[in-house]
């Protein structure tokens, strides 16, 4: 009996059209934006743009942003910001490089230690936000400067420099390269493995967000933390876990970069936090939380990656990239607000 | 109306003190299955304290609390929920940007699959949300639409349907009609009657006597932490109810004050005020 009624109800529910559902999806704007940007550079710089090598290049640029942007988007949907991710990239790289070059440890040991530190910093960010009740914007703005300052200061204290090179001579480099920095040949072009990491993170995040219990909690915690608590969502633990996720993503990107360029720079990841937030917002994630999409953040990173590489292909000075990013951010927020109002007031 | 004479929820002579403040003093009330008990009172009358005691947020300082004839002492809202007492708060009920079915199951998501493949059973959630709303007489075409697209009254009803689905036998509704327009309030009142028809005990908190009178079976009136007692509809006219809620003296004072204004206006119109009185009146008016 239950199954027959279920079938009937399901039929009645399936009346929402595909178009309504599309219009209601947060990543719609980003999808349209990605298409527009792709077509634009296909017209302006067709030779590089249509080549597989050109595609592999902008995908790699997008990947290095997307790896951060997707977890940042999850955190934003959960109602918080993490401005410390850029500094975390610098810190993780520095720990790896110092442990390997100064202490003589294998690179993978350095990477593991850096991961533990990243998890701890993420936990610390989270616990400070939930315990003090201060805006995470303030807390992580503080940790942005503290982490960056500590990274530069301690590195200079130990090594006398702020950069460490020739990391490919260190033990364990080859193994690390296969996980984090190998190029996969695809029809003559070399696609960086970071692109796979980016897509994998995007897919896992989208699945968690839309198809698991934790995903529902993330929406709830960001939409109305108090209401979510009332129905038993462990909002504080959830937020701390999300901060630990963004820090872990920063560690992953740091590892990929250190292994790819075989060197460490304490300034690496500067301004990445802002680009990640822009990518998330362009992807339809609401600054105030409770609404958004992981796929959107993947697309947001793709847009920014395409433009960053596209201006190079088009022979335009890279200075204009920043102008574009700022403009894109404001435009995206305007579009998001419009879409959200439509979603909220779709009836009558 | 009820066949069972043991009240679902009953408090006897309870008092609640916050330091020196007496929030509730010697209040008794009871609600039975299939009955709507309206809890009326002006702001500061102690309504919130009483429902927070009923829903396990506060513990009474004195007096006894019974659930289905058994004395209880709740330490948290979870304890009350476990005894089938669910509270729907006016403002905290729903998250507007989330879909109806996601809201409905937030915190108690149905899952299928095991291990890392354990996932939110969205088809089940959509179906149940749709069915439960249908039982309350609302046909939501698409449970995946955001709650923000619902009217205020419908949002309250989603919260009520959710409470009922998760095993509530007693519903405490904290001013569900306060922020609503006339038509939407009517919608909510209909769902309250619906819940009663399904055999729930309903405690309906309001400071609107018209809403109370429309669905209430019995009325408990609070004023300054004390109760005037519980009345049935036959025992109490709407006018008496209003008088008790606000206090007769204060109403009389208000009437007097309003007459005073009228008098002044009249004098002004007739030009009988002195120059200083005229200026004063202009300044105030």
Comparing CB atoms, the residue among A207, A212, A228 nearest residue B106 is A228
What's the pLDDT score for residue A91? Answer: 97
Q: Say yes or no for a CB contact (<8 Å) between A16 and B148.
A: no
What's the pLDDT score for residue B222? Answer: 87
Query: What pairs with residue B170 in β-bridges?
Result: B85, B201
Taking residues A232-252, report their average pLDDT.
Answer: 95
Q: Considering only CA atoms, which of A343, A205, A170 is closest in space to residue A279?
A: A205
Confirm whether A9 is domain-assigned.
no
Portion of chain A with pLDDT greater than 70, in percent = 91
Comparing CB atoms, the residue among B92, B97, B130 nearest residue A226 is B92
How close, in Å, is residue B270 to chain A by CA atoms? 52
Asked whether the predicted pLDDT for residue A15 surpasses 70, the reply is no
Secondary structure class of A123 (helix, strand, coil): helix
How far is the C-alpha of B251 from the C-alpha of B244, rounded, in Å?
A: 10
Structure confidence at residue A11 as a pLDDT band (50, 70, 90): very low
| Total of domains in chain A | 1
What is the chain B residue with the closest CA to A339? B97
Asked whether the predicted pLDDT for residue A133 surpasses 50, the reply is yes
Confirm whether A223 is domain-assigned.
yes
Strands (E), B68-168: 70-71, 85-88, 111-112, 119-120
How far is the C-alpha of B151 from the C-alpha of B154, rounded, in Å?
A: 5
Asked whether the predicted pLDDT for residue A88 surpasses 50, the reply is yes
What's the pLDDT score for residue A61? Answer: 94
How far is the C-alpha of A289 from the C-alpha of A277, rounded, in Å?
A: 12
Q: Say yes or no for a CB contact (<8 Å) between A347 and B130.
A: no
- Tell me what the pLDDT averaged over chain B comes to: 83
What's the pLDDT score for residue A245? Answer: 98
Confirm whether A7 is domain-assigned.
no
What's the pLDDT score for residue B93? Answer: 63
Number of CB pairs, chain A paired with chain B, less than 8 A apart: 102
Portion of chain A with pLDDT greater than 90, in percent = 61
**Helix A136-159, helix A85-101: angle, nearest 10:** 20
Contacts of B98 in chain A (CB under 8 A): 216, 219-220, 223, 290
pLDDT digits (tens, 9 = 90+) for A101-127: 898 899 999 999 999 999 999 999 999
Most confident of A214-223, B204-213, B260-269: A214-223
Asked whether the predicted pLDDT for residue A223 surpasses 80, the reply is yes
pLDDT digits (tens, 9 = 90+) for B163-191: 888 888 999 998 888 877 787 788 888 88
Asked whether the predicted pLDDT for residue A42 surpasses 70, the reply is yes
pLDDT digits (tens, 9 = 90+) for A282-317: 999 988 899 999 999 999 999 999 999 999 998 888
How far is the C-alpha of B165 from the C-alpha of B188, rounded, in Å?
A: 17
Asked whether the predicted pLDDT for residue B55 surpasses 50, the reply is yes
Confirm whether A17 is domain-assigned.
no
Structure confidence at residue B284 as a pLDDT band (50, 70, 90): low
- Could you tell me the residue range of the domain that residue A297 belongs to? 27-337
What's the CATH class of domain B9-99+160-246?
alpha beta
* Buried b / exposed e along A68-92 (16+ C-beta atoms within 10 A): bbbbbbbbbbbbbbbbbbbbbbbbb
Residue A23 · residue A339 · CB < 8 Å? yes
Structure confidence at residue A347 as a pLDDT band (50, 70, 90): very low
Asked whether the predicted pLDDT for residue A21 surpasses 70, the reply is no
CATH of the domain at A40: 1.10.3470
Asked whether the predicted pLDDT for residue A250 surpasses 80, the reply is yes
Asked whether the predicted pLDDT for residue B77 surpasses 90, the reply is no
Asked whether the predicted pLDDT for residue B260 surpasses 60, the reply is yes
List CB contacts of A77: < 8 A, sequence separation 6 or more. A209, A218, A219, A222, A285, A286, A289, A290, A291, A292
**Count of Cβ atoms closer than 10 Å to residue A308 Cβ:** 19
Asked whether the predicted pLDDT for residue A332 surpasses 60, the reply is yes
The first and second tokens of residue B42, run together, are 């002006």
The first and second tokens of residue A184, run together, are 């996969």
What's the pLDDT score for residue B2? Answer: 43
* Buried b / exposed e along A190-204 (16+ C-beta atoms within 10 A): ebbbbbebbbebbee
Chain B residues at the A interface, defined by Cβ less than 8 Å, are: 77-78, 89, 92-98, 102, 105-109, 111, 118-120, 122-123, 126-127, 130-131, 141-146, 148-150
Contacts of A346 in chain B (CB under 8 A): 145-146, 149
Taking residues A24-44, report their average pLDDT.
Answer: 87
Asked whether the predicted pLDDT for residue B285 surpasses 60, the reply is no
Taking residues B15-34, report their average pLDDT.
Answer: 90
What's the pLDDT score for residue A7? Answer: 40
Pairing of strands B218-223, B201-206: unpaired
The first and second tokens of residue A72, run together, are 């940042």
Portion of chain B with pLDDT greater than 90, in percent = 21
pLDDT digits (tens, 9 = 90+) for B222-247: 888 888 888 888 787 777 777 777 66
Q: Considering only CA atoms, which of B205, B196, B158 is closest in space to residue B177?
A: B205
């Amino acid at each position: 009996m239950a199954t027959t009624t279920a079938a009937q109800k399901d039929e009645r529910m399936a009346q929402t059209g595909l178009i309504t559902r599309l219009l209601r999806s947060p990543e719609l704007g980003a999808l349209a934006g990605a298409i527009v940007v792709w077509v634009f550079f296909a017209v302006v710089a067709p030779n590089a743009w249509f080549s597989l090598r050109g595609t592999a290049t902008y995908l790699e640029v997008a990947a290095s942003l997307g790896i951060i942007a997707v977890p940042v988007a999850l955190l934003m949907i959960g109602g918080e910001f993490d401005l410390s991710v850029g500094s975390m990239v610098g810190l993780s790289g520095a720990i790896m490089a110092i442990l390997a070059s100064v202490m003589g440890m294998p690179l993978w040991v350095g990477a593991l230690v850096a991961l533990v530190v990243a998890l701890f910093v993420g936990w610390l960010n989270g616990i400070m936000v939930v315990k003090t009740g201060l805006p995470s914007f303030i807390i992580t703005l503080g940790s942005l400067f503290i982490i960056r300052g500590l990274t530069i200061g301690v590195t200079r204290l130990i090594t006398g420099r702020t950069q460490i090179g020739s990391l490919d001579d260190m033990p364990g480099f080859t193994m690390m390269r296969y996980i984090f920095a190998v190029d996969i040949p695809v029809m003559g072009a070399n696609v960086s493995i970071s692109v796979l990491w980016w897509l994998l993170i995007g897919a896992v995040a989208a699945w968690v967000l839309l198809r698991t219990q934790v995903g529902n909690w993330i929406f709830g915690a960001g939409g109305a933390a108090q209401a979510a608590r009332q129905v038993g969502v462990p909002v504080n633990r959830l937020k701390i876990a999300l901060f630990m996720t963004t820090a872990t993503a920063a560690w992953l990107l740091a590892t990929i970069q250190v292994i790819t360029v075989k060197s460490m720079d304490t300034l690496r990841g500067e301004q990445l936090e802002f680009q990640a937030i822009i990518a998330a917002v362009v992807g339809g994630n609401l600054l105030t939380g409770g609404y958004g999409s992981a796929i959107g953040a993947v697309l947001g990173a793709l847009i920014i990656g395409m433009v960053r590489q596209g201006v190079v292909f088009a022979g335009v000075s890279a200075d204009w990239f920043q102008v574009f990013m700022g403009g894109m951010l404001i435009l995206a927020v305007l579009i998001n607000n419009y879409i959200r109002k439509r979603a909220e007031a779709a009836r009558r | 109306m009820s066949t069972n004479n043991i009240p679902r929820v009953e408090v006897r002579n309870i008092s609640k003190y916050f330091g020196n403040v007496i929030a509730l003093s010697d209040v008794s009330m009871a609600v039975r299955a299939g009955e709507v008990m309206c809890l009326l009172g002006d702001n500061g009358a102690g309504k919130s304290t009483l429902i927070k005691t009923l829903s396990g947020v506060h513990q009474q300082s004195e007096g006894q609390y019974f659930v289905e004839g058994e004395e209880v002492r709740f330490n948290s809202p979870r304890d009350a929920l476990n005894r089938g007492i669910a509270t729907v708060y006016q403002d905290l009920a729903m998250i507007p940007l989330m879909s109806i079915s996601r809201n409905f199951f937030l915190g108690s998501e149905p899952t299928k699959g095991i291990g890392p493949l354990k996932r939110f059973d969205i088809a089940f959630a959509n179906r149940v949300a749709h069915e439960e709303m249908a039982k309350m007489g609302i046909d939501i075409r698409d449970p995946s639409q955001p709650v923000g697209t619902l009217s205020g009254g419908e949002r309250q009803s989603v919260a009520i349907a959710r409470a009922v689905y998760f095993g509530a036998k007693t519903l405490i509704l904290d001013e569900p009609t306060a922020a609503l327009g006339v038509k939407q309030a009517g919608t909510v009142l209909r769902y309250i009657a619906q819940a009663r028809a399904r055999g729930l005990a309903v405690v309906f908190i309001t400071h609107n006597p018209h809403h109370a009178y429309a669905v209430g079976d019995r009325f408990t009136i609070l004023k300054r932490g004390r109760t005037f007692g519980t009345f049935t509809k036959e025992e109490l006219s709407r006018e008496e109810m209003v008088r008790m809620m606000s206090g007769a003296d204060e109403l009389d004072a208000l009437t007097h004050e309003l007459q005073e204004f009228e008098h002044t206006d009249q004098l002004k119109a007739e030009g009988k005020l002195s120059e200083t009185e005229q200026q004063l009146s202009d300044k105030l008016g």
